[in-house]
Structure 1
Amino acid sequence: MTRTDYPWLLPSEMIDPRGPELPGDRGRARPRRTVRDWIIDTLMFVIASGVGLLAVETLQKADNSELVDAFDLTAGIVACCALWLRRRRPVEVAIALAVLCMVAPLAGGASLVALFCVAVHRTFRPVLIVSLVSLVTGFAAACLRPDPTISFTTALLATVVLLLLVVGWGMLVRARRQLVVTLRERAFRAEAEAELRAEQAQRLAREAIAREMHDVLAHRLTLLSVHAGALEFRPDAPPPEIARAAGVIRDSSHEALQDLRMIIGVLRTPDGEEGERPQPTLVTLDELVAESRRAGMEVDLDNRVADPATVPAAVGRTAYRIAQEALTNARKHAPGTGSTVEVSGAPGDGLTLEVRNAAPTGEVPKVPGSGQGLIGLTERAALAGGRFEHGPTGDGGFAVRAWLPWAA
């Protein structure tokens, strides 16, 4: 069985428990012989004819009538021509030639060729049956049409040795072809697995980029939504307040465009190289808090880490994204309330980050949200080997808490 015969099958479905199938194993002949098939069939015909011609010299030494000689010659020609049918019916052709060889020694070459083809294209059981039939007919031929040049015992031994050589050679060829088929299947499977791994890597990269886009752009766009909503609900606000809100909207739009360019730049750079813009770490947490304060939030930062620069970059970036998303959610769902960011930890103990906000007061603008942010933060913390918890507090507020590993 080959992939060109059954392209819809998987490699595991194409391999028989007794070994990979070869072309012609189940009698499936090609609709048209290829050049290679014609060369092989012609070669087999020539070999069978050559062995038959050798037997002619032996028969000339025997005292046979002209009728017997004519029968032998006709049987030899028919046997050689029958080899052209062996691709469709190799077992039947081999058994018929073995029986014919019992009364016509000139068919011996064609019988050996047919036995060889059975050993190449069939499993052990048909090969064993045809071999036993050939052995029995060979012994019968030694009795019915003995060779006058050798003894009876020598003829029997020669028959056994010749059959063993032909069957062994055919099975060796079959084993080699099966090995080639198996190696091709392994190469095909390895190529398919490599493609699957590449697709999985691309999918993971897309998911990572999607999380990054959500974390980065949600923070900026939330500022736009909150301040635009404030301008909508308070069209009579004092001009300084309107000017400050417009400035925040302008700055947030500019930062969102910069972040979007950075993410697109990462997609365009070869081998997933980072862009020129540095990635946030725990050191830049102060800038995040300052930006939130400029946007009108009341944020208290309690950073008890002695040296934030010593925090691993991956851990610091995860903590920054968690704080960014938590402040974004607080700004969306509890505007005008105070928030607290607490950071603590040390090498070997891990890094703990907690963000709390009080309960909102008054009417809260309806800002769209899908809840995917908290899911993304949970995945971020899990990928970093940490834990993430979130939920309402006793006073009606909301809190998120994350623990991230920090190796000693």
Structure 2
Amino acid sequence: MSSDETASETPAFPGWRWLLPSAVIHELDPEAGRAGRRPRRTARDWIVDFFGFLLAVVIGLAVADTLSDDPDLPHAVVVTDQLLGALACAAVWLRRRWPLGLAVATIPLAFVSTTSAGAGVVALFTLAVHRPFRYAAWVGGMQLVLIPLLLWVRPDPDLSYAPAVVFTLLLTVAITGWGMFVRSKRQLMLSLRDRARRAETEARLRAEQAQRLAREAIAREMHDVLAHRLTLLSVHAGALEFRPDAPREEVARAAGVIRESAHEALQDLREIIGVLRAGDSDDAGRPQPTLAGLDTLVAESREAGMKVTLDSRVTDSAAVPASVGRTAYRIAQEGLTNARKHAHGAEVTVSVTGAPGEGLAMSVRNPAPDGQVPHVPGSGQGLIGLTERATLAGGRLEHGPEDGGGFGVRAWLPWR
């Protein structure tokens, strides 16, 4: 009648419920306890209950033999004793539903029916298994106190009074302790099962969060890398569309920029896909831009026809942390890309200042454009990604219209 190990609760083993006590299933399966429904007995419960009933009957029959050998007992007393013992054995089948009531009822019954001793043993064990310690302590304590009186009124025919009292006391303590051990084992099993479920849930949530962060990082990287190239391509293609009669030199120049931008975008895309296939992090697999690459970025924008002024007043560009420099580069890149899309022909000013301990402050500003600008679709995802980058780096980023109709992106990044 000890607790079984928890079976694997998987669809591949649908018969796991048959191997567990109904009380354990009631705790493991929330559906079993809805609407106050009692847990149904499992095959294991029926087997254990049968052996419990059989144990009570065997003990009762053994005691009945001793009653028949006692010539001092009237026949009516013997018959009444055996009848009450039989009823007590039958009541063992109700031990799961009313463990406390059955255990309490067997205490006074023991004074009038010695053949109910087996049912009393099973009832006490059941109480210790299915109810908290305080119930088993009260009922077991009552039995310990009444055992000397019981053996005085109904002495054991085979043992003298003192050894019988000691043996019965030890047996009562052993039964109670065994039942409490089974209960603690079941509680430990349920606790471990609950902890395992919580650990699985937390691991799943952490995995989902990691996947979400990875997707966001990939989206930011792809946008930052490709948007710059594709915007060059889109702007020059739009210029050719709006000015089909442009001089051949300008058409050739725009076509060259389109070809170069498409080639660079394809190369960047291949690098990103290569990093993803290799499973590397954002900082591995390919060279990452730094603050020192601002000059190249500005030069590239100028070659594409933009008017860009770079104002860099950083004490030591080489000392800027790689993550901070990369974030600053992406901010400048996105700012130039937006200016190229929405303020074509306007002069853009990129300012960078900072020193160790003071942080790195930068801005990308452009005035309102002159004349008509070809429409280039955009959803603002780049600015959202820049804000996330700055926040992850421990800084902040602001963007919005400037006085006079222009637009500006301002950021501050920590530099310790």
Aligned counterparts of 1:216 and 1:348: Cα–Cα separation in 2: 30
| RMSD after superposition | 3.4
Find out whether 1:30 has 2:40 as its counterpart: yes
Counterpart position of 2:376: 367
- Give the deviation of 1:391 after TM superposition: 3.3
Find out whether 1:230 has 2:239 as its counterpart: yes
* Greater displacement, 121-130 / 214-223: 121-130
- Map 1:53-92 to 2 at 5 A: 53-56=61-64, 58-59=66-67, 60-61=69-70, 63-92=72-101
C-alpha contact 1:381 1:402 (8 A) present in aligned 2: yes
- Choose which of 315, 319, 322 in structure 2 pairs with 1:310: 319
Gaps of 5+ in 2: 1-5, 11-22, 28-32
- Give the deviation of 1:92 after TM superposition: 4.2
Q: TM-score, normalised by structure 1?
A: 0.82
**SS where residue 208 of structure 2 aligns?**
helix
Counterpart position of 1:388: 397
Aligned counterparts of 2:237 and 2:282: Cα–Cα separation in 1: 36
Find out whether 1:40 has 2:48 as its counterpart: yes
Query: Aligned in 2, Cα 1:368/1:271: closer, same or farther, shift over 3 Å?
Result: closer
**SS where residue 406 of structure 1 aligns?**
coil
- Choose which of 177, 183, 204 in structure 2 pairs with 1:174: 183
- Choose which of 292, 308, 312 in structure 2 pairs with 1:299: 308
**SS where residue 350 of structure 2 aligns?**
strand
Aligned counterparts of 2:348 and 2:181: Cα–Cα separation in 1: 79
Query: Aligned in 2, Cα 1:184/1:266: closer, same or farther, shift over 3 Å?
Result: same
**SS where residue 108 of structure 1 aligns?**
helix
- Give the deviation of 1:289 after TM superposition: 1.1
Aligned counterparts of 2:210 and 2:303: Cα–Cα separation in 1: 39
C-alpha contact 2:316 2:355 (8 A) present in aligned 1: no
Aligned counterparts of 1:406 and 1:132: Cα–Cα separation in 2: 72
**SS where residue 177 of structure 1 aligns?**
helix
**SS where residue 370 of structure 1 aligns?**
coil
Counterpart position of 2:217: 208
- Give the deviation of 1:170 after TM superposition: 2.0
Aligned counterparts of 2:260 and 2:325: Cα–Cα separation in 1: 25
Query: Aligned in 2, Cα 1:330/1:273: closer, same or farther, shift over 3 Å?
Result: closer
Q: Percent of aligned positions with the same letter in both sequences?
A: 61
C-alpha contact 2:275 2:285 (8 A) present in aligned 1: no
- Choose which of 120, 124, 130 in structure 1 pairs with 2:129: 120
Counterpart position of 1:12: none
C-alpha contact 1:95 1:134 (8 A) present in aligned 2: no
C-alpha contact 1:62 1:148 (8 A) present in aligned 2: no
- Give the deviation of 1:183 after TM superposition: 1.9
**SS where residue 43 of structure 2 aligns?**
coil
Deviations 1:196-230 (A, max 9, x none): 11111111111111112222222122212211211
Gaps of 5+ in 1: 8-20
Find out whether 1:347 has 2:347 as its counterpart: no
Task: Count residues in correspondence.
Answer: 389
Deviations 1:55-86 (A, max 9, x none): 34653346223343344344434433432342
C-alpha contact 1:101 1:138 (8 A) present in aligned 2: no
Counterpart position of 1:261: 270
Counterpart position of 2:341: 332
C-alpha contact 2:398 2:409 (8 A) present in aligned 1: yes
Deviations 1:73-115 (A, max 9, x none): 4443443343234234434443444454332101112112112
Question: Partner amino acid for 2:259?
Answer: R
Aligned counterparts of 2:251 and 2:280: Cα–Cα separation in 1: 45
**SS where residue 304 of structure 1 aligns?**
strand
Deviations 1:346-405 (A, max 9, x none): 222222222222321112222222233223222211211122233333343322222211
- Give the deviation of 1:271 after TM superposition: 5.6
Find out whether 1:194 has 2:203 as its counterpart: yes
- Give the deviation of 1:38 after TM superposition: 5.0
- Give the deviation of 1:144 after TM superposition: 5.8
Question: Partner amino acid for 2:43?
Answer: R
- Give the deviation of 1:120 after TM superposition: 0.6
Counterpart position of 1:322: 331
- Give the deviation of 1:272 after TM superposition: 3.8
- Give the deviation of 1:167 after TM superposition: 3.1
C-alpha contact 1:95 1:133 (8 A) present in aligned 2: no
Deviations 1:243-272 (A, max 9, x none): 211221222222222222222333322364
* Greater displacement, 143-152 / 242-251: 143-152
**SS where residue 314 of structure 2 aligns?**
coil
Q: TM-score, normalised by structure 2?
A: 0.80
Question: Partner amino acid for 1:48?
Answer: A
Deviations 1:181-202 (A, max 9, x none): 1122112211210111111111
